[in-house]
Copies of this chain bind each other. A is one copy, B any other.
Amino acid sequence: MGNSFGRLFRITTFGESHGKALGVIIDGCPAGLELDLDKIREEMQRRKPGQSKITTQRKEEDDIEILSGIFEGKTTGTPIGIVIPNADQKSKDYSHIADKFRPSHADYTYFEKFGIRDYRGGGRSSARETAARVAAGAIAKQFLAAKGISIQAYVSQVGDLSMQIPYQELDLSKAEENIVRCPDPATAEQMIALIDSVRLDRDTIGGVVSCVIKNTPTGLGEPVFDRLHAELGKAMLSINAVKGFEYGSGFEGVKMRGSQHNDAMVKEEGKIKTRTNHSGGIQGGISNGEDIYFRVAFKPVATIMQDQDSINEAGEAVTVSGKGRHDPCVVPRAVPIVEAMAALVLADYLLLSKTNKLEEI
């Protein structure tokens, strides 16, 4: 259970980190969308391992093969099946932890839940699963782009290095110009240096990914449980290593008074707007047309190159240590994953919003 996401634009993923392949089925993508396969591959490149010195040096080509749902370059409205072969499996690397539970991984909980686990690289619990999400999200993004909606994520914090510049004052397109994906070049340099020093310590560190969605139409979001930000939150919290989500004013908004926090409404140049945007583009769970923005907290990667106390399947005390090639900080590669999940949420709610008013049916 739990391997599907969305209602009308719905994905289902499968695959373990060291199985034959990962994959995803997208059900509900509207017909008639001209798909740019290169753009899907670009997104895969942004997520793939081995892309810079601050990411894992594992090599995965992350080629995608589309098996269905496209005819003569366009979506047909039938399910889009995508397979991503696992090229670099190296299962032998994992024999040393076959019966050990790595601290703060899902080893123990999967074993408790299912009574069995695929110990090769975490199996299904590996962040490798997110490759399938990025492929699906790349299609959702193209659907949204056809309707004018754009999504841009970036790294805003690594460890306690937090970029203080509001997104409105940043040129977000610069995020892709450095390997840590922070749009402020000065902060980016510091972040890279920090990650590099953590890596040399055989340690890992956390970070924050921020995301901005522009040009959302009003009316997206379903009261009361399926508020737009509630589903965005769930989407982000479903990404490996995420510990928190906040949108608009977030946890800082707690400290404000209503008279500061409320977003006064104005009409400018014939368009209804809010003067401030502490609401983060969503009021009562429904988009109001302003920018949607949110922040996602990632913990430090659990695999470290140091000895740690743990137990094995027999309940005996053991020592475990990471081996091989792992990310010292997950956020640079998490940027496209955050965007993918945001795109999937928006695509789903855009479809849902087509059935709200009698006169539009």
Contacts and interface: CB of A to CB of B under 8 A. Distances in A.
A245 B248 contact: no
Interface in A1-26: 1-5, 7-8, 10, 12-16, 19-23, 25
A224 B3 contact: yes
B1 A352 contact: yes
A308 B262 CA distance: 9
Contacts of A262: 103-104, 302, 304, 308
B77 A356 contact: yes
Given A262-B304, A275-B309, A288-B109, A223 B31 contact: no
Contact of A2 (B32, B226, B280): B226
A309 B356 contact: no
Interface stretch (A36-44, A46-54, A164-172, A293-301): A293-301
Would you list the 4 A-B pairs with minimal beta carbon distance, nearest first? Answer: A106-B284, A2-B222, A244-B246, A2-B226
Given A68-B20, A251-B208, A256-B206, A238 B224 contact: yes
Contact of A159 (B106, B255, B280): B255
Given A105-B283, A225-B2, A233-B233, A31 B256 contact: no
B357 A351 contact: no
Given A206-B255, A315-B272, A23 B225 contact: no
A355 B357 contact: no
Interface stretch (A55-63, A121-129, A178-186): A121-129
* Most chain B CB neighbours (cut-off 10 Å) among A198, A261, A288, A357: A261
A221 B109 contact: yes
Contact of A78 (B109, B223, B354): B223
